[in-house]
Structure 1
Amino acid sequence: MELEVRHLRALCAIADTGSLHRAARQLGVAQPSLSTQLRRIEQELGGALFLRARTGCRPTPLGRLVLSRARPLVAEMRSLVAEARSAAVAGPRLRVGSTASRALAGWLRRLRGGGQEPALHMDVSANTLLRMVAAGQLDVAFVHEVEGTPLRIPAELRLRVLLEREPQFVLLPADHPATAKTEVELYDLAGDRWMIDPSVDGEWDGVRRMFRAAGVEPDVLHGDYHTASALVATGEVVTVCQPTALPRPDLAVRRLRGDPLGVRLLLAARTDTDLDGVFPALAEAYWEAARQAPAYRTWLDREQPQTPMSRPSSRHTATTAGRT
């Protein structure tokens, strides 16, 4: 006898219901048939999987071991069937990966408007997303590469550069003294406590280089940026942020003078065709988000007055595998 998914499904049903009778009813089979199937499975595996009693069935140690491996397989098969049925009706979904970005909402909206149905996978690690694209688990990934810390880009991937260098700004409490300026000197924040997310690939290395170059050694906490924003609002910390971040009554976004920290924005896929199908929508969404961010719009008007705000500029070039 060779175990099949239906056998694993039967084991899971017995464990979940605690009864051969209830499991048979759930599976739509006769109880004697299920009992015979269970005996054959136990013979194949070499031991009892359940203890039978008047109160029901409960897994033996061997049963718990088998169930620990069976459940993920059954769940994966269930997911595969559901995804296949959905694709048969509506067509396959576009699997999009991304690190955090305010351009995401506009990008997904444009993709849907163009007839594509995106499924989004978020991750703080750009390297993880790139590996998923190379492995065929994602179709495209929008990631950022911290200046001075190159990403590990699989050789088989194709890249398109959305922006060669996006300056990173700083998020401050709205009542911070430095908000009196439109551009903040890093030494003005040397006495503040900073929060940085070290799980973002290259982030902590980039920030440390920035501090070192400025000759400052502020107190640093490690945490995710969602938590950091909440702590900034209460005056506990300051943190770096993307220039597309929007101010709030309790938060201010400011440029760091000299733009000491930057990232490169990349779109990755396995083929140029995959890139061509989604890059224009991403570029439009990014510049839409840029227009909505007052501090970033001011920076663009001053530093790159020729950069179109509604479409990618000549700086947004296509590249082949690897780094440019």
Structure 2
Amino acid sequence: MRVVCRVSETGSVSKAAAALGVSQPSLTAQLHRIEEAIGGPLFDRGSYGVTPTPLGRHVLRRARAMLVDMDDLLGSSRRYTDGPRTLRLGSLRTVMFGTWMARMEDLMPDREFTTQVDVSSATLTELLAADVLDVVMIGRCDDAHAPPCPPGVREQTMVHPEPYAVALPVGHRLAGRTDISLTDLAEDIWICPPAGKEDGDLASLRDACERLGFTPQFRYYNLDSIEIEQLIGAGRGISLCAPTMRDIPSSVILPLVGHHISWRRVLRFRPESASQEDIDLIHKAFTDTYRTTIAENALHRPWWDSHPDTHPTVIDP
């Protein structure tokens, strides 16, 4: 059921395989077995990905409802178990993930972890609300567009504000600048974030641009991070990015100034599943990793020292 739902959400077997941490051939074979058991094809395959068949739509409706019940059963059963249990951690996809996990394990040597990485803060928040995860690290835009915090879930801010930067092709007309504003980019094509549930960042960008008198042009949907980087490098468009973004071949990253778009990096957690001590250690591991990553990236960005307004505020636990 989770396989079928993830294929539908991503619109692609390859993207679903990456999200589930399995190979594409393995997931394709599994999907064929599922379709044989169900009795017919669940998806139509085309050059632009997959779309559910009428049978697939029926299965998806039932699968989503059944998964909610299953997750509730698993979550409610845990209160009858004794002793410390594995902490289920979710995270946005980030270049910092491996280093953050290593620091966390050093700070919490007696704790076991399972991890799940996704491109969508909204999806991670839903998994937290369904008691599939105990703690998630997400990035969210301003409150008007951010995925809401579910009832009973707490939020702890680690970085705010985190200003955006813009990734431009190296041949872009503005690539030689030391900074850039949204009004400079009124005629450009924007590449959408990686495929996944809408987190509100595109809506936030659209609102900011429309307040300045233009509507941004979006193109290239349902891409993964590598495909986005390739399109930027090929001169096909531009994209918002965090200051922790690694260097992209054939592109430059410039600070976005004179605007009101920023992110907040937060931990959301279920207090009955993770103690405040656990959360503070996870928080410390993240902010230590964040500072190190920023310092390493600053060496490759000559504008960093002269643009203190682009420096994010890092909050210790």
Question: Quick check: TM above 0.5?
Answer: yes
SS in 2 for 1:207: helix
Q: Which residue of 2 aligns with 1:6?
A: none
Q: Which residue of 1 aligns with 2:125?
A: 130
SS in 2 for 1:243: coil
Q: Which residue of 2 aligns with 1:167?
A: 163
Between the two proteins, the alignment pairs up a number of residues equal to 233
1:258 aligns with 2:254: no
Displacement of 1:194: 1.0
Q: Which residue of 2 aligns with 1:177?
A: 173
Q: Deviations over 1:249-268 (max 9, x none)?
A: 41211111214321111101
Structure with greater helix share of residues:
1
| Aligned residue among 291, 297, 302 for 2:295 | 291
Equivalence map 1:214-229=2 (5 Å): 214-221=212-219, 222-224=221-223, 226=225, 227-229=227-229
Change (3 A) 1:252 1:225: farther
Displacement of 1:297: 8.3
SS in 2 for 1:177: coil
Displacement of 1:229: 1.5
Q: Deviations over 1:102-153 (max 9, x none)?
A: 3322211112223244322122332332232233321210011112313221
1:303 aligns with 2:309: yes
Change (3 A) 1:277 1:139: farther
Percent of aligned positions that are identical? 24
| Aligned residue among 189, 211, 216 for 1:193 | 189
Equivalence map 1:91-102=2 (5 Å): 92-102=85-95
Give 5+ residue unaligned stretches, structure 1. Answer: 1-57, 62-67, 81-90, 318-324
SS in 2 for 1:298: coil
Whole-angstrom CA distance in 2 between matches of 1:234 and 1:163:
32
Q: Which residue of 1 aligns with 2:233?
A: 233
| Aligned residue among 92, 95, 99 for 1:106 | 99
SS in 1 for 2:304: helix
Between 95-104 and 228-237, report the one with greater CA deviation. Answer: 95-104
Whole-angstrom CA distance in 2 between matches of 1:281 and 1:117:
15
Q: Deviations over 1:70-128 (max 9, x none)?
A: xx99xx9xxx9xxxxxxxxxx85432101222332221111222324432212233233
Contact (CA 8 Å) 1:268, 1:275: kept in 2 or not? no
Contact (CA 8 Å) 1:127, 1:153: kept in 2 or not? no
Contact (CA 8 Å) 1:139, 1:270: kept in 2 or not? yes
Between 124-133 and 292-301, report the one with greater CA deviation. Answer: 292-301
Q: CA RMSD in A?
A: 3.5
Whole-angstrom CA distance in 1 between matches of 2:303 and 2:94:
16
Displacement of 1:206: 0.9
| Aligned residue among 275, 278, 282 for 1:278 | 282
Whole-angstrom CA distance in 2 between matches of 1:207 and 1:306:
19
Displacement of 1:247: 2.2
Give 5+ residue unaligned stretches, structure 2. Answer: 1-35, 40-58, 75-83
Change (3 A) 1:236 1:105: same
